[in-house]
């Protein structure tokens, strides 16, 4: 029971963190000349992912794929940023700080995903009851 509660707390925190990106996203859309288009596109993806993580809080075991996607995509993004940080000296500090944030996010979501296995049988049984195979 405490694992599910911890999972829900992590989902709320990460979901709110990602959804909070809507503020700079709106600023970038209102003033496109002052923003980087790549950053704006990434923010739109993270805001959307944050909304879906908040939706997953109600029933995390039914939304395991969204949670796993959040964890693994954050990990992949962190690895890419780390490599770019080593290759582009002028951007090193920003990339490495961003990588650390995403790895911490991955660690929290990864713990949540590993806890999701507990309810997977329950989800499968519910699916069979509803006629799904």
Does residue 111 register a pLDDT over 50?
Answer: no
| 74, 46 contact by CB (below 8 A) | no
Does residue 101 register a pLDDT over 90?
Answer: no
Q: What is the pLDDT of residue 124?
A: 36
Q: Is the pTM of this model over 0.75?
A: no
Cα–Cα distances (Å) from 129 to 64, 82, 132, in that order, read 19, 46, 7
Between CA 22 and CA 43 the distance in angstroms is 7
Does residue 55 register a pLDDT over 90?
Answer: yes
Q: What is the pLDDT of residue 120?
A: 37
């Amino acid at each position: 029971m405490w694992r599910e509660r911890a999972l829900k707390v992590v989902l709320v925190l990460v979901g709110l963190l990602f959804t909070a990106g809507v503020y700079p996203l709106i600023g970038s859309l209102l003033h496109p000349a002052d923003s980087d288009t790549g950053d704006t596109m990434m923010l739109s993806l993270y805001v959307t992912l944050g909304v879906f993580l908040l939706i997953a809080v109600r029933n995390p075991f039914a939304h395991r794929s969204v949670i796993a996607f959040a964890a693994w995509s954050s990990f992949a993004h962190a690895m890419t940023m780390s490599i770019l940080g080593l290759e582009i000296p002028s951007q090193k500090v920003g990339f490495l700080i961003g990588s650390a944030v995403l790895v911490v996010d991955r660690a929290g979501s990864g713990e949540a995903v590993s806890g999701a296995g507990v309810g997977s049988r329950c989800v499968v049984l519910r699916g069979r009851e509803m006629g799904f195979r």
